[in-house]
C-alpha cells in the first residue's frame, strides 16, 4: 500500500533530519509526490510519528516476550532477553532511533502511551535481574541501574550500528550478551 511507503519514507527522513526538521514536502519527495498529496493517505505528520513509535514499541515488547517465553533459568532468560534487545536495535535501528529521540516531539496523549510502553519494557528487565539476584544467579548492587545500563547498551546500538560496515549483528549480539552477563555478575561460561 502507498501508506506503507510513506511511513517508511517518513521514518527515513525523521532519522536523517529529525521530526521537527522534516517537512511534509521532504517525505513527499521521497515517495515521488508533493507534500499536500500525502494527506490522501495519512492524517497528519504527528500521527505518522505516533504511529511509527507505537508500532516500534509494540514490536519490541513482542520480540522480548517471545525470546524469554518458557525459559526459567535467570542466566538463560537474561541471555535471551539481551540477545533479542540487541538484535531488535540492530535490525530496526531506524525505528529504535526515532523511538528514543523523538519522544519530545510527541504530543499528548501519544507521549504518555509510549512512555508507558517504555516503562513496561524496562520493568521486564528489572524484574528479570531482581529475580536473578534473589535466586543467587546474579550479584548486583542496584538492579535498576543494571537494567538501565543494559537498555542503554541497546540504544547505543541503534545509534552506531551499520549494516554495511563495522561489526555484524551476530558479533554485536554476542559481545553485548557477554557484557550484560558480566555486568550483572553472572558466572561466565
Partner DNA sequence: TTGGTTGGCTAATGGTCATTAGCCACCATG
Partner DNA sequence: CATGGTGGCTAATGACCATTAGCCAACCAA
Residues lying near its own copies in the complex (CB under 8 A) are found at 16-18, 20-21, 101, 104-105, 141-142, 144-146, 148-149, 151-153, 155-156, 159-160, 166-167, 171-172, 174-176, 178-179, 182-183, 185
* All residues at 6 or more sequence positions from 31 whose CB lies less than 8 Å from its CB, including other chains: 2, 5, 6, 9
| Neighbouring C-beta atoms of residue 24, cutoff 10 Å | 19
C-alpha to C-alpha distance for 37 and 51, rounded to whole angstroms: 19
First-last CA distance in the chain? 48
Binder of residue 148, out of its own copies, DNA, none (CB less than 5 to 8 A by kind): its own copies
Q: How far is the CB of 24 from DNA (least distance, A)?
A: 4
Q: Which partner in its own copies, DNA, none is near 120 (CB below 5 to 8 A by kind)?
A: none
Rounded to a whole number of angstroms, the minimum distance from the CB of residue 8 to its own copies is 20
From CA 14, how far away is CA 9, in angstroms rounded?
9
Residue 7 or 80 having the CB closest to DNA: 7
Name which of DNA, its own copies, none residue 46 binds, using a CB cut-off of 5 to 8 Å depending on partner kind: DNA
* CA 184 remoteness from chain centre: 21
Select from its own copies, DNA, none the partner in contact with residue 41, using the beta carbon and a kind-dependent cut-off of 5 to 8 Å. DNA
Nearer to DNA, 34 or 135 (CB): 34
Q: How far is the CB of 40 from its own copies (least distance, A)?
A: 27
Residue pair 56/15 in contact (Cβ under 8 Å)? The answer is no
Residue numbers at the binding site for DNA (CB under 7 A): 2, 22-25, 28, 32-37, 39-41, 44-46
Q: Which grid coordinates are listed for 97? A: 532511533
How far is CA 41 from each of CA 29, 36, 46, 119, 152, rounded to the nearest angstrom? 15, 10, 14, 32, 35
Please identify, using beta-carbon distances, which residue of 18 and 185 lies nearer to DNA. 18
Centroid of chain to Cα 2: 25
Q: Which one of DNA, its own copies, none is in contact with 2 (Cβ closer than 5 to 8 A by kind)? A: DNA
Amino acid at each position: 500500500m502507498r501508506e506503507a511507503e510513506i511511513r517508511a519514507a517518513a521514518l527515513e527522513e525523521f532519522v536523517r533530519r529529525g521530526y521537527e526538521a522534516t517537512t511534509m514536502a521532504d517525505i513527499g519527495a521521497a515517495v515521488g509526490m508533493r507534500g499536500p498529496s500525502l494527506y490522501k493517505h495519512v492524517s497528519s505528520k504527528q500521527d505518522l510519528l505516533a504511529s511509527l513509535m507505537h508500532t516500534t514499541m509494540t514490536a519490541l515488547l513482542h520480540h522480548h516476550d517471545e525470546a524469554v517465553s518458557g525459559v526459567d533459568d535467570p542466566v538463560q532468560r537474561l541471555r535471551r532477553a539481551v540477545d533479542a534487545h540487541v538484535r531488535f536495535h540492530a535490525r530496526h535501528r531506524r525505528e529504535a532511533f526515532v523511538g528514543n529521540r523523538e519522544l519530545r516531539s510527541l504530543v499528548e496523549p501519544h507521549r504518555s502511551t509510549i512512555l508507558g510502553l517504555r516503562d513496561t519494557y524496562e520493568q521486564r528487565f528489572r524484574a528479570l535481574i531482581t529475580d536473578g539476584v534473589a535466586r543467587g544467579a546474579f550479584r548486583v548492587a542496584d538492579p535498576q541501574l543494571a537494567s538501565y545500563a543494559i537498555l542503554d547498551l541497546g540504544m547505543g546500538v541503534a545509534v552506531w550500528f551499520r549494516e554495511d560496515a563495522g561489526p555484524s549483528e551476530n558479533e554485536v549480539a554476542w559481545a553485548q550478551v557477554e557484557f550484560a552477563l558480566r555486568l550483572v555478575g553472572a558466572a561466565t561460561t
